[in-house]
């Protein structure tokens, strides 16, 4: 990982930790590293930080609750 990528991933992790204070910081760091690893061979490096953040943010988001009303019998 280049120094630029390391700094970008630190910033991504900091934003996610701020947005998800309930999440374990080590878990956030691991999700960011994992998301980055999925993109490390990307030819266009410009979008790697935002794509990493989106992937990690999606993994941190709670599953959507089923809000459909239950039919009465």
Q: How many angstroms separate the CA atoms of 18 and 10, rounded?
A: 12
3-state helix vs strand vs coil in the chain, percent to 5: 65, 0, 35
Q: What is the mean pLDDT of residues 5-26?
A: 92
Taking CA 33 as the corner, what is the angle to CA 32 and CA 37, rounded to the nearest 5 degrees?
A: 115
Question: Does residue 59 contact residue 19 with C-beta atoms inside 8 Å?
Answer: no
What tens digit of pLDDT does each residue of 22-42 get? 999 999 999 999 998 888 887
pLDDT at 65: 62
What angle, 0 to 180 degrees and rounded to 10, lies between the N-to-C axes of helices 48-60 and 3-19?
30
pLDDT at 70: 61
pLDDT at 13: 94
Query: Which tokens belong to 25?
Result: 């910081």
State yes or no: pLDDT of 18 exceeds 90. yes
């Amino acid at each position: 990982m280049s120094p630029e990528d390391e700094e970008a991933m630190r910033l991504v992790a900091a934003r996610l930790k701020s947005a998800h204070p309930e999440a374990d910081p080590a878990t956030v760091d691991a999700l960011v590293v994992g998301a980055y690893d999925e993109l490390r061979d990307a030819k266009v490096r410009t979008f790697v930080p935002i794509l990493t953040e989106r992937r990690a943010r999606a993994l941190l988001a709670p599953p959507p609750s089923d809000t459909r009303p239950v039919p009465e019998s």
